[in-house]
Amino acid sequence: MKRNFTSITLCAILLTLSVSAHAQQTGKVFRIGFLDSSTASGMAPLIDAFRQEMRKLGWIEGKNLTIEYRFAEQKNERLPELATELVRRPVDLIVVTGGAAALAAKSATTAIPIVTTSATDPVGTGLVASLARPGGNVTGFTALSMGVNTKRLEILKDAVPKLITVGLLRGSGSGPIALQLKELRNGASALKLTLEEIETQLDPKSLESAFQTAKQKRVGAMLTTAGRNFFAERKRIVEHAGKYRLPAIYPSKEYVEVGGLMYYGVDEADRSRTAAGYVDRILKGAKPADLPVQQPMKFEFIISLKAAKQIGLKMPLNVLERANQVIR
């Protein structure tokens, strides 16, 4: 019995220390790059989720792992330069968030593995050959899930009595945003809603102006396109929606955490944690070409009654009953 117990204990210890042993055997501290189009402060919750999961997997910063961060500060034109910096370090792997960062990283290297946490259309933009067989140095997770934007419009229509016009905060550009716009336009038409597109920069003055425009256009509710740049400015966006008493639904629950009304979509923090699993596998020897790009399968709907009260909105019972979580 004593021998069996000792054997089991030793096995448990060996399993727990497997990643550390792997790093020690290779005789190196792995260096990964983290490339994002927005800001360090804006991305803090998702970075923390990623780092915590890496630690659980045995990757300890300062011991067997170093992370190099690069943020474009809302200026996508800086991404190619920042990606090149990481390649020249060099890093062993690059984690990217969003399609623009992924494309910049792929343009900078075809050899260093790249893991994306949320590429909107990795096949359509040429990041991978297919979701099942990426075929190159890029893999990870896609934010593409047709019907999510239409679902957000449906929720807004059910939540706001006699809703006619929905304001859409959007950035400029094409590519991934074009897919969102196409779905939103088609969804609004099917739901007999007018979609008022308000293109905006993300500095304080431009956002204030965008919400003023929304009120002038008699918009009855708001939503934003999904994207890292809007995510980074979520607190300011939520504050303006409250100031102008506009019901809004958001693409990430972190908006609700800073006072937003509603969220429907994929758990971004969970996706960052899952991406850490792919990073772990690649650092241990797996090839990105052999790891399928995964699509979101689980969605959440969260409502804040506190935010509803602040803008004078009485949330219908049939909408509350559909929520996964109601914050009171």
Q: What is the CATH number of domain 27-144+269-290?
A: 3.40.50.2300
Instruction: Give the long-range contacts of residues 212-220, CB within 8 A, separation 24 or more.
Output: 212/244, 214/167, 214/244, 214/246, 215/244, 215/246, 217/165, 217/167, 218/165, 219/165, 219/166, 219/167, 219/246, 220/160, 220/162, 220/163, 220/164, 220/165, 220/166, 220/246, 220/247
The predicted pLDDT at position 177 comes to 76
Q: Does domain 148-265+299-327 have CATH number 3.40.50.2300?
A: yes
Q: Give me the residues of the chain with pLDDT under 70, please.
A: 1-27, 144-146, 173-176
CATH 3.40.50.2300 in the chain is located at 27-144+269-290, 148-265+299-327
Residue with tokens 């630690």: 55
Strand-strand pairing, 300-304 and 325-327: parallel
